[in-house]
Homo-oligomer: A and B are copies of this chain.
Amino acid sequence: MQVSFTQAEVAAIACPSRTTGATTETIRGIASLGSAVPGDISFLGNPKYKSSVASTRASIVLLPPDYAGKPGPNQVHMAVDNPSVALARLCSRIEQSLWPKPRPGIHASAVTAPDASIAASATVGPMCIVESGATVGERANLEARVFVGRGSRVGEDSWLMPGVIVSAECTIGKRVRLQPGVVIGADGFGYEFVLGRHEKVPQVGTVVIGDDVEIGANSTIDRARFGRTEVGEGTKIDNLVQVGHNCVIGRHCMICAQCGFAGTVTLGDFVVVGGQCGLAGHLTVGSGVKIGAKSGVKDDIPPNTSVWGSPSMPLLLEQKLTVLRHRLPELFKRVDALERHAGAGPG
């Protein structure tokens, strides 16, 4: 992967409202303020790092409009509305060399069923398997070693990374991005305890992944017991997340790594779930809810509220309880003193 931008090329992409200083360096890398060297571009995305701007060795620095400092020698400050977004635009350009456009067609080593429907513009990479009745849409890219089971559908422009498994009868929307090792449509975890044994409840439903969804590496989305498990349009799911059978995740949610959703959890839209949260079965979480990291949720959550803790509580209450817990040593001492004062202490 090669990066090479002149100052003028960066300006054309970042569209700064103000530029101070100049550099003769060609930009060959991107780095954080602290680790940048001449030839790198850097940016102030998080105010926490503001004090590092003055000492950075980056040749170009993207800064918010209100940053007041001056560039060093052979250094450029570019003021932009949102330095993170400006950097992202630059990265998009680089991305095209990291992930070159795949060549359409089916690799000789792939195994595809005669009655699978694979668009001529789609790419089916080495060692992929596309089973009977499956559909792969226009410009979809099954990178390598991807499995698409009987009757499943992969939408237009979706990108399935190496090792992805889509089990039978599942539906993947358009522009979906499944990272390596994602498993869509494994059996839900359902058993009835009959005569001293756990008897399997057949899981005959399916999974439907909406458009523009992204799912992180080795995450698992189980098929429904019946009906469908759903992930709504635009929702982003991080790595190693478990979504149980019959969950309905809304649109434009953000679900951080290692969260787990038991069966039949319903999430509204624009829900944010911090890392390592667990949600018990049959819960309803309203739209706009924020759940703090590591929370354990066992009750429904009304829309547009924030919760935290395990078991989770309204955020402000949980924060207060956390503070009071830290004051327990003091409280015990105060009660000791009161008892001494009252002559009522033990012993």
Contact = CB atoms under 8 A, between A and B. Distances in A.
Interface of A: 1, 29-32, 35, 46, 48, 82, 84-85, 87-88, 91-92, 94-95, 98-99, 107, 109, 111, 126-127, 129, 144-145, 147, 149, 151, 161-163, 165, 167-169, 177, 179-181, 183, 186-187, 189, 191-192, 194, 196-206, 212, 214, 216-218, 220, 222, 225-227, 234, 236, 238-240, 242, 244, 246, 252, 254, 256-258, 260, 262, 264, 275-276, 278, 280, 282, 293-294, 296, 298, 310-311, 313, 320-322, 324-329, 331-332, 334-335, 337-339, 341-342, 344
Given A165-B181, A168-B98, A332 B338 contact: no
Contacts of A107: 111
Nearest to A298: B293
B1 A151 contact: yes
A335 B331 contact: yes
B147 A202 contact: no
A147 B181 CA distance: 12
Given A242-B257, A338-B339, A98 B169 contact: yes
Contacts of A258: 242, 258, 260, 278
A192 B1 CA distance: 24
Nearest to A109: B111
Nearest to A212: B197
Contacts of A220: 181, 216-218, 239-240
Contacts of A165: 161-163, 180-181
Given A186-B239, A278-B293, A335-B338, A126 B151 contact: no
Nearest to A43: B226
A324 B328 contact: yes
Contact of A88 (B162, B201, B238, B296): B201
A226 B87 CA distance: 10
Chain B CB within 10 Å, residue with most, of A29, A179, A217, A225: A217
A222 B217 contact: yes
Contacts of A242: 238-240, 257-258
20 contacts: A1-B169, A91-B226, A98-B169, A109-B111, A144-B147, A147-B163, A161-B167, A165-B181, A179-B183, A183-B218, A198-B252, A200-B214, A217-B220, A222-B239, A278-B294, A313-B326, A324-B328, A327-B332, A334-B339, A341-B344
A294 B260 CA distance: 11
A178 to B, nearest CB: 10
A186 B216 contact: yes
A257 B275 contact: no
A94 B29 CA distance: 48
Nearest to A46: B282
Nearest to A313: B326
Contacts of A189: 216, 236, 238-239, 256-257
Contacts of A194: 85
Contacts of A149: 162
